[in-house]
Amino acid sequence: MPDAIDGNGGRDHGVLAVDMRGVGKSFGASPILRGFDLAIERGSFVALLGASGSGKSTVLRILLGLEDIDSGSVLVAPNRTVVFQDARLVRNLDVSANVLIGQKRTAAARQVAVRALHEVGLSHRLHAWPHTLSGGEAQRVALARALVREPQLLLLDEPFAALDALTRIRMQQLVAELCDRHQPAVLLVTHDVDEALLLADRVVILREGALALDRPVPLGRPRNRNAPGFAALRQELLQILGVNDDVGAGPQAPAIRGAAE
């Protein structure tokens, strides 16, 4: 288990929800994290990008206490919760009971659940069964379940990856609103550079076990993809991730065009 941040340490922990220093982690002979550092201030939204297999989910699992580390130190806010790519609802519990999983089901708790479901736009589905929900609705329930815990740290592991493009946009807007209102610290793992830039105060990139970039996102809110500076930031991140997002302009394209002219 990582140690809990209690605000009494020698470092300035009172303002941090996450403080990972020099973390090393291997699976067998494969080093995944090598001297990985990440600090997240309370109330701050950080997006973690990186190639597939670079170790993003491993970072989240370490913060959840599901993986031990080999070296370094990890301090984390004790009140933390996670939303995964799939909502992980319990099939034989209705929506409001799913929101209250692990909580005492008092009348006051039920009121909190109703309020949270209202916040995510699901007041009309309080007693629905999980199998009757769309993917977007199920993720809203997962968000409501996270909200009722009033986490100091909200971990989001590609929470929109399984949703269609339009639902994804709506969910991004919802998460931006909820985080603005509740102000948890957030660590969002995503493959989507636009999503990172739309939501985060800071973007960090994991490469070869360490941070290849730790960059503030100097865009106002609410945000959209047409904001001045958005496109330039997007290019910068794609370049560091080693991605060229031109479609149809591979190395062959000019020669083929030339041959046809």
Ligand X SMILES: Nc1ncnc2c1ncn2[C@@H]1O[C@H](COP(=O)(O)OP(=O)(O)OP(=O)(O)O)[C@@H](O)[C@H]1O
Interacting residues with ligand X (CB under 6 A): 27, 32, 50, 52-58
Handedness of CA 240, 241, 242, 244 (dihedral sign): negative
Task: For the CB of residue 68, give the shortest distance to ligand X in the complex, in Å.
Answer: 11
Based on CB atoms, which residue is closest to ligand X, 63 or 112? 63
Based on CB atoms, which residue is closest to ligand X, 21 or 207? 207
Based on CB atoms, which residue is closest to ligand X, 58 or 152? 58
Task: For the CB of residue 15, give the shortest distance to ligand X in the complex, in Å.
Answer: 27
Based on CB atoms, which residue is closest to ligand X, 33 or 100? 33
Task: For the CB of residue 191, give the shortest distance to ligand X in the complex, in Å.
Answer: 6
Q: How many CB atoms lie within 10 A of CB 134?
A: 11
Task: For the CB of residue 28, give the shortest distance to ligand X in the complex, in Å.
Answer: 6
**The token pair that represents 152 in the structure block:** 């100091």
**DSSP codes joined into one string, the chain:** -PEEP-S-SSS-GGGEEEEEEEEEEEETTEEEEEEEEEEEETT-EEEEEE-TTSSHHHHHHHHTTSS--SEEEEEE-SSEEEE-SS----TTS-HHHHHTTTS---HHHHHHHHHHHHHTT-GGGTT--GGGS-HHHHHHHHHHHHHTT--SEEEEESTTTTS-HHHHHHHHHHHHHHHHHH--EEEEE-S-HHHHHHH-SEEEEEETTEEEEEEE----SS--TTSTTHHHHHHHHHHHTT----SS-STTHHHHHHHH-
Based on CB atoms, which residue is closest to ligand X, 50 or 184? 50
Based on CB atoms, which residue is closest to ligand X, 52 or 252? 52
Task: For the CB of residue 53, give the shortest distance to ligand X in the complex, in Å.
Answer: 4
Rg of the chain over Cα atoms, rounded to whole angstroms, equals 20
Task: For the CB of residue 36, give the shortest distance to ligand X in the complex, in Å.
Answer: 11
Contact 172, 160 (CB under 8 A): yes
Task: For the CB of residue 48, give the shortest distance to ligand X in the complex, in Å.
Answer: 9
Based on CB atoms, which residue is closest to ligand X, 29 or 256? 29
